[in-house]
Structure 1
Amino acid sequence: MKNHERTNSKTRMPVIAALVIGLAGGVLISNYTLLGEDLSVSSDTSEAEEKEILYWVAPMDPEYRRDKPGKSPMGMDLVPVYAEEKKEPGILYWVAPMDPGYRRDGPGKSPMGMDLVPVYADDTAGSKGININAAVEQALGVRTSEAVRRSLWRKVEATGYVGFDESLVSQINVRTEGWIERLLVSNEGQRVRKGEPLFEFYSPQLVNAQKEYVQARRRNDARIEAAAKEKLLALGMQQADIQQLAKTSQVTNAVPVLAPQNGTVTSLNVKEGMFIRPATEIMSLADLSSVWLQAGVFESQAEWVAESQPAEARLNYIPGEVFSGRVDYVYPVLDPKTRTLQVRLRFDNPEERLKPNMYARVTIFGKSHPGALSIPR
């Protein structure tokens, strides 16, 4: 009996020891697990505390915002919204400040000896665009502007020279032989008014025609008088001078030749007392209140130009001044040497600021495109 009890006692001892060790291990493992959980929570809380809280929102309604912790309308705890960390954009490459086409993978010097500047990736835009360094933008003169809808024209840029409006140029000639008795225009560039005498002309043929007219009137022969009057007109005598002759019957040896228009004397080819014929180019007058501008348009742009299109002219000697005109005529033949098409433009010139032979830069506005999306300069 005693042996049996002793045997049972020996058997129970290892079992009890195992139970004690198991309980201790369980408590130890449990403590380590809890400790790990505590450390994990502590780490998350520490990271959360380091982030900046922007505001607090309701879990079920992000539009419900508050500046501090609290309860949502549904009785739930508000949750914080943290500020996102700002990431430094990565450098794509390095460029020369004065030549963005000069690229390198790292810092260095440009061919002009300037420090290369970085070009950054545009991470904030969520696209594959790039941000250019401010120094590069300044060197390139980059500007921004809002796009607008407006009428656009196909512009044709050309150069040309100011010339006389040929429709306002008069050539002074006589219709019979004779002499300049008195020259009333002294030099080129002199301004004259319409009806103002230019010179006095003596012609034996014109004197004889006046005498025939006086005699025809004295005969009271209407047919002969009309024929004599037509002869005076054909020889260039003015209607007013013929009426004066009919009234006084006094023959004028030196007949005045009058200016047919307002203008400037652009050429003077005679002297006082000079013998002249009908073919003699005595002088010419030009009215500069309107001028032509002859411009050459490239062959590739010839189809863009048409009559009546608006145009602008700029001259170097009048900086900032813009003169407005129109296309007056497009010549039908291309210049085979320059491969340009001549275009004639007309400009009003009341102050005579545009002077013949001046060089000008011309802009011709072709067909318009209304409502085109564009960026203003």
Structure 2
Amino acid sequence: MTTQTLKILAAVLATATVGAAGGYWLAQQRMAGPAADLSAVATGAAPERKTLYWYDPMVPDQHFDKGGKSPFMDMQLVPKYADEVGATAGVRIDPGVRQNLGMRLAKVERASMSPTISAVASVQFNERDVAVVQARSGGFVERVYARAPGDVVVAGAPLADVLVPEWAAAQTEFLALANSGDRSLLEAARQRLRLTGMPEGLIALVEKTGRVHAVTPIATPIAGVIQTLEVRMGMTLSAGMTLARVNGLATVWLEAAVPEAQAGQINLAQTVAARFAAYPGEAFKGKVIAILPEANADSRTLRVRVEMSNAKGRFKPGMFAQLQLAAGESTPALIVPSEAVIRTGKRNVVIVALDGNRFQPVEVELGSEVGDKTEIRRGLLAGQQVVASGQFLIDSEASLIGAVARLDGAAAIEGARP
């Protein structure tokens, strides 16, 4: 290679080296310029934001003192800044989205509430209105009438005709003494008839007709329904044998299970309104006659017994009724629709509508519930607007941005403020 060729190659290499160095320097300058400008903007125009805590958006109730990776999800913790807490906190919902969701608002109102307790009751027999028909003396069944369990009978309805030999002998002796004219002996014979168990009506009939009535009917002493019937044609009776059981229907009982937390608000003899599916549009009145002294260990309820007239026989045992029991005097209170309350088990929350299409979860203390209205004892003011439908979607969105987490972290937030 000649000397001239070597000089040309050296010049080319030097030019390439200088070009590369210059390009590197130019690139560094171009990159450093914007970075320096951004640094100046960040430090000069935007003030430093104060971080209250870090949280996982999927588990907003859990707070952390420093950032990093979430122990729950494969994601970074999100900081909660102090300037995000206050009047601007909440969830913003576009008006178009609100319309698509069918969201409804309701006003917090002050109104009078008459606390009531609703309960489902079943109709039962009045167990105090029961008659047991028994054989008063030994005998034989001569005839039975067309009766069966479940039949409704009137008072005095015959069940069977019975031959009682003892009664026949006593009647014969009584009639013989009646013709003697000795009043003391006649009264003694009449007393003997009573001691054999003979009814007063049969004694009067024997004395009136002057003849023996060996076969006598056994009848029901009260009107009602035959629950059991044990008398059959040709059977032999012994004294004290039960022949039938009759339950009266003039009154019935309504028995309802009331939560023990509400049972203390019910008083004996108070009036109860009852409605039956069989008689729509009609309300019937009853009276509390007993609050049974034993609670159901499984359902934590007490049985309340209501007595109601059944003169027309419209209420049949086994039917169901809806009861309304007054649970106190009418008092003024703040009320919202019951559907506006979100019950999480840990707290009770309502979604309050703010200015600028924003919505804020607010924890409230509930009072009594009457119909579709719920009393608010703490947390709201009269005139505020609350979400009555669609609030669960807002509550979910609020949880994702940490709005609901502030309900648990309110005390920590106040402590972190200067």
TM range (shorter): 0.5 to 0.7
Counterparts in 2 of 1:215 and 1:349: CA distance versus 1, 3 Å: same
Structure 1 unmatched ranges of 5 or more: 1-89, 96-105, 108-115, 119-131
Amino acid at match of 2:217: P
- The one of 202, 206, 225 equivalent to 2:186 is 225
Task: Output the CA distance in 1 between the equivalents of 2:133 and 2:312.
Answer: 25
Specify the alignment match of 1:117 in structure 2.
97
Give 1:212 deviation, angstroms. 2.7
Specify the alignment match of 1:135 in structure 2.
102
Contact 2:110 2:332 in 1 (8 A): no
Specify the alignment match of 1:312 in structure 2.
273
Give 1:253 deviation, angstroms. 1.3
Give 1:271 deviation, angstroms. 1.7
Contact 2:118 2:323 in 1 (8 A): yes
Give 1:308 deviation, angstroms. 0.6
Counterparts in 2 of 1:336 and 1:146: CA distance versus 1, 3 Å: closer
Contact 1:309 1:366 in 2 (8 A): no
Counterparts in 2 of 1:262 and 1:244: CA distance versus 1, 3 Å: same
Task: Output the CA distance in 2 between the equivalents of 1:302 and 1:91.
Answer: 42
Counterparts in 2 of 1:309 and 1:214: CA distance versus 1, 3 Å: same
Q: Deviations over 1:150-182 (max 9, x none)?
A: 7x2x42333332111123322211211222211
Specify the alignment match of 2:289 in structure 1.
328
Specify the alignment match of 2:408 in structure 1.
none
Counterparts in 2 of 1:216 and 1:317: CA distance versus 1, 3 Å: same
1:276 correspondence with 2:237? yes
Task: Output the CA distance in 2 between the equivalents of 1:372 and 1:92.
Answer: 30
**Structure showing greater relative contact order (alpha-carbon pairs closer than 8 Å, 6 or more residues apart):** 2
Give 1:306 deviation, angstroms. 1.9
Give 1:299 deviation, angstroms. 2.1
Counterparts in 2 of 1:337 and 1:214: CA distance versus 1, 3 Å: farther
1:190 correspondence with 2:151? yes
Give 1:269 deviation, angstroms. 2.1
Specify the alignment match of 2:166 in structure 1.
205
Counterparts in 2 of 1:278 and 1:341: CA distance versus 1, 3 Å: farther
Q: Deviations over 1:106-144 (max 9, x none)?
A: 79xxxxxxxx724xxxxxxxxxxxxx999311xxxx667
Give 1:340 deviation, angstroms. 2.6
Task: Output the CA distance in 1 between the equivalents of 2:313 and 2:181.
Answer: 53
Contact 2:123 2:253 in 1 (8 A): yes
Contact 1:175 1:235 in 2 (8 A): yes
Structure 2 unmatched ranges of 5 or more: 1-87, 336-370, 373-418
Give 1:317 deviation, angstroms. 4.6
Give 1:189 deviation, angstroms. 3.1
Counterparts in 2 of 1:224 and 1:146: CA distance versus 1, 3 Å: farther
1:245 correspondence with 2:225? no
Specify the alignment match of 1:27 in structure 2.
none
Task: Output the CA distance in 1 between the equivalents of 2:279 and 2:108.
Answer: 29
SS at match of 2:172: helix
User: When the two structures are aligned, how many residues end up with a matched partner?
Assistant: 250
1:171 correspondence with 2:151? no
Amino acid at match of 1:341: L
Q: Deviations over 1:304-360 (max 9, x none)?
A: 222111213334454554332110112233344543322211112233222112233
SS at match of 1:304: coil
Task: Report the structure number with the largest CA radius of gyration.
Answer: 1
Contact 2:258 2:303 in 1 (8 A): yes
Task: Output the CA distance in 2 between the equivalents of 1:337 and 1:216.
Answer: 68
- The one of 310, 314, 323 equivalent to 1:362 is 323
Specify the alignment match of 1:264 in structure 2.
225
Task: Tell me the TM-score normalized by structure 2.
Answer: 0.52
Task: Output the CA distance in 1 between the equivalents of 2:334 and 2:171.
Answer: 73
SS at match of 2:166: helix
Task: Output the CA distance in 2 between the equivalents of 1:317 and 1:91.
Answer: 53
Q: Deviations over 1:199-237 (max 9, x none)?
A: 211111222222232233233333333233233234443
The 5-angstrom pairing of residues 74-153 of structure 1 reads 93=91, 117-118=97-98, 135-137=102-104, 149=112, 152=114
Specify the alignment match of 2:259 in structure 1.
298
1:342 correspondence with 2:309? no
Task: Output the CA distance in 2 between the equivalents of 1:185 and 1:307.
Answer: 42
Give 1:252 deviation, angstroms. 0.9
